[in-house]
Amino acid sequence: MFVIGFALSWAFAGVTIQANALARDIDANRSAIAAEQARRSQLEASLAEKKGADYIIEKGKQLGWVWPWEALIAVQRDPSARDQTPQAERPSRLMRWIALFIGP
């Protein structure tokens, strides 16, 4: 009887040790997930800031690409205004360059 009790207590201790180790792993993974989610939100905020015109202007000034008195002008294309002619029907690039400089 003593041996059976000892075996059961040993098995219970083993299961308890494994459960505690799993609980520690779960807590570590949850904290890692929370840290990565916080990092993701910081990166998304940084991306939103960097997409703004003010950031682009300031970065251009820092890199020396834009003088302090210059302004940024952005032109947004209308996607429906694009030429809808299929590629096969268009003249080649060479023909377009010739037409540009010499004429049609």
Q: 11-45 pLDDT, tens per residue?
A: 778 888 898 999 999 999 999 999 999 999 999 99
Domain around 51: 2-75
In a domain, 95, yes or no: no
The Cα 86–Cα 8 span in angstroms is 79
Please tell me the distance from the alpha carbon of residue 20 to that of residue 82, in angstroms, as a whole number: 64
Q: Is residue 71 assigned to a domain?
A: yes
Q: Considering the domain boundaries, does residue 88 fall inside one?
A: no
Residue 44 within a domain: yes
* Residue 85 maps to a domain: no
79 has pLDDT over 80: no
Whether 49 is in a domain gets the answer yes
Domain count of the fold of the chain: 1
Identify the pLDDT of residue 56.
83
> Rounded mean pLDDT of 74-100?
75
Whether 102 is in a domain gets the answer no
Enter the pTM of the model: 0.49
Helix (H) or strand (E) holding 99: helix 93-101
Alpha-carbon gap, residue 97 to 92, rounded angstroms: 9
How far apart CA 89 and CA 83 sit, in angstroms, is 12
pLDDT interval class at 82 (50, 70, 90): low
How many CA atoms, within 13 angstroms, populate the side-chain half-sphere of residue 55?
8
Q: How far apart are CA 49 and CA 58, in angstroms?
A: 12
Residue 20 placed within a domain: yes
CB 95 within 8 A of CB 89: no
